[in-house]
Structure 1
Amino acid sequence: MPSAKTELIERIRCLDSSIEIEAVQNKTLTEREHNSIARMLRNGLAVVSFASLEDFIKKRSAEAMEDLSRCSISFSELPEKLQRAATYEVLSGLTYQLSLLEKEDKPSYIQQHALKIASTATPNFELSSHTFAHSQANISNTTIGDILKSFNVDDPWRQMSLMASNLGLTSALSLSEIFKSAALRRHKAAHVAGADIPSTDIKQFVKEAFAIAITFDALLSKAIQKLVENDDDFVRNGQKLNATSIKIRTIKRVDGKWKEYRDNINRAVRISSDLDTLQRGARQRALQAKELIVEFDENGVVSWWQCQ
């Protein structure tokens, strides 16, 4: 089964290609039928692209619960907000998910997740995959912030915005406001019959979706790493995570060469005409240094990332 990250990369890169095709571009005002079709197609892209980001948040959060279920620390040593989310707060998510199931599927579903809640009172706990982001149909900016707060991330959207800016995916704009604008655009495209979503907005969402997904994933992954490694400061002394907790390595195509960069330094640390060789080395260096590595294709679109 593909990971949440793999699915999102495929979907958002497909979105980037889709917005370039002739069928979604307006022609002259006299081409009324074509323009009407293009408008409907753009509205559909706006809906599906935002749904892809929501799906990533849900699936990545579920993966996080699986990762934590394999860690060696006791449930009582998890962050307090995470403990609450995995016990009684998860009930709202289970109640909503039950409402979507067929009658015959409800008993086994609730039994499965009730066992996981009960396991939090044992040494070998298993957290519900529906702990986060499953209590309603859509995800809000508050949902994303609350997930990261449960993992001791300080002021999550601010940290995500700082990282996105360092990656060159967004300017100084708040990612929280960007997410809310994208949600409103999705709502308009889905529910307003005469909506006309500009192609430029959809094109911009390619960078915005990657910015939100990568920074969310990086902070979540770093928190999980510290819990799995039983980091004393993080687990017992209340250490918070922020943007400076994560070192960044990137690969970009610049002036006809593939270049490797670290953090927000403009000078490349390595240059090569062979992408494969540079990738292998950079990924290994990022793994050893426990860094976030983000790779961009020749057009400057994210092609891959990994959080250590």
Structure 2
Amino acid sequence: MPSAKTDFIERIRCLDASIETDAVQNRALTEREHNSIARMLRNGLAVVSFASLEDYIKKRSSEAMEEVSRCTIAFAELPEKLQRAATYEVLSALNYQLSLLDKDDRPAYIQDHALKISSTATPNYELSSHTFAHSQANISNTIIGDILKSFNVEDPWRQMSQISSNLGLTATLSLAEIFKSASLRRHKAAHVAGADTPPTDIKQFVKEAFAIAISFDALLSKAIHKLLENDDDFVRNGVKLNANDIEFRTIKFVDNKWKEYRGSSVRAFRTSNDFDLISREARRRANLSKELLVEFDETGLVRGWECQY
């Protein structure tokens, strides 16, 4: 099964290509039928694009529960908010998910997740994949913040915004406000018959969606790595994660060459005409230094990322 990240990258890059097609662009005012169709298609893209981001948050959170379940530390040493989420707070998610299932599938579903909740009282615990982001149909900015708070991330949206700014994906805008605006745009496109989503809004959301997904993953993956390593300060001394803990490298196409940059430096660390070569070497260096690696394509669009912790 493709990872949450693989699916997300494919969908958002497809969105970027879709908004460039003639079918979603307005023509002269006299071409009313085409423009009406284009408007409907753009509204559909606004709904699907935001749904893709929501789906990523849900699936990445489920993957995180599998990763945490491989920790060697006791359940009682996990962050307190994570403990609460994985025990009694998950019940609201299970109740909601039950309502979506056929009656015949409900007993097996609840038995499986009840066993996982019960396992938290044992040394070999397995956390429910529905611990986070599965208690309702849509995801709010509060839910995303609460997920990261459960992993000892301090002021999550501010840290995400800082990481996004460091990577050059967004300026100084708050990712929380960007997420709220995208959510409202989705709601309007889905429920207001006369809504007209500008193509520029969808084009901008491509970069914003990547910014949210990458910064969320960077912090979540870093926290999980600290749990897997049984980091004493993080596990027992209450040390919080912030954007400064995320060191990174980027690969960009500049002046007709592929260039690797470390951190916010404007000077290239490596230069090559061969993307595969520079990517392979950058991944090795990022892995050794436990860094986030973000790769951009020739147009400046994100092509992928790796949290090499």
Q: Under TM normalisation by the shorter chain, which class is it? A: over 0.9
- Fraction of identical pairs, as percent: 79
2:306 is aligned with 1:284 = no
Instruction: Report the secondary structure of 1:154's partner residue.
Output: coil
Which ranges of 4 or more aligned residues in structure 1 deviate by more than 3 Å? none
Give the residue type in structure 2 aligned to 1:150: S
Q: Which amino acid aligns with 1:35?
A: N
TM-score scaled by length of structure 2: 0.99
Partner of 1:228 in structure 2? 228
Equivalent residue number for residue 14 of structure 1: 14
In structure 2, what is the equivalent of residue 83 of structure 1? 83
Matches within 5 A, 1:97-112: 97-112=97-112
Residue 306, structure 1, aligned to residue 279, structure 2: no
State the SS of the aligned residue for 1:28: coil
Q: Which structure 1 segments of 5+ residues have no match?
A: none
Report how far residue 79 of structure 1 moved.
0.2
Q: Which deviates more, 215-224 or 258-267? A: 258-267
Tell me the alpha carbon deviations over residues 226-247 of structure 1, each in whole angstroms, 9 at most, x when there is no partner.
0001011101111100000010
**Structure 2 matches for 1:79-158, cutoff 5 A?**
79-158=79-158
TM-superposed deviation, 1:41: 0.4
In structure 2, the residue matched to 1:237 is: 237
CA distance in 2, matches of 1:91, 1:266: 49
- 2:303 equivalent to 1:274: no
Give the counterpart letter for 1:94 in structure 2: L
Give the letter aligned to residue 188 of structure 2: K
Task: Note the C-alpha offset of 1:265.
Answer: 1.1
Q: Does 1:263 align with 2:271?
A: no
SS of 1:305's equivalent in the other structure is strand
Cα-Cα RMSD: 0.5
Distance 2:119 2:214 in 1: 31
CA deviation after TM superposition for structure 1 residue 50, in Å: 0.2
- The one-letter code matched in structure 1 to 2:175 is L
| Secondary structure class of the residue paired with 1:295 | strand
Q: Which whole-Å CA distance do the structure 2 matches of 1:19 and 1:38 have between them?
A: 10
SS of residue paired to 1:46:
helix
1:67 corresponds to which letter in structure 2?
E
Q: Which amino acid aligns with 2:144?
A: I
State the SS of the aligned residue for 2:88: coil
Deviation at 1:274, TM superposition (A): 1.0
- CA distance in structure 1 between the aligned counterparts of 2:186 and 2:225, rounded to whole angstroms: 34
Please tell me whether residue 217 in structure 1 is matched to residue 217 in structure 2. Answer: yes
Shift of 1:273: 1.0
Q: Secondary structure at the match of 1:306?
A: strand
Mapped partners of 2:131, 2:257: distance in 1: 44
Q: 2:33 is paired with a residue of what secondary structure?
A: helix
> 1:191 corresponds to which residue?
191
The offset of 1:141, in angstroms, is: 0.1
Secondary structure at 1:294 match in 2: strand
Q: Deviation at 1:71?
A: 1.2
1:247-277 CA distance string (max 9 Å, x none): 0100000111110011111111111111111
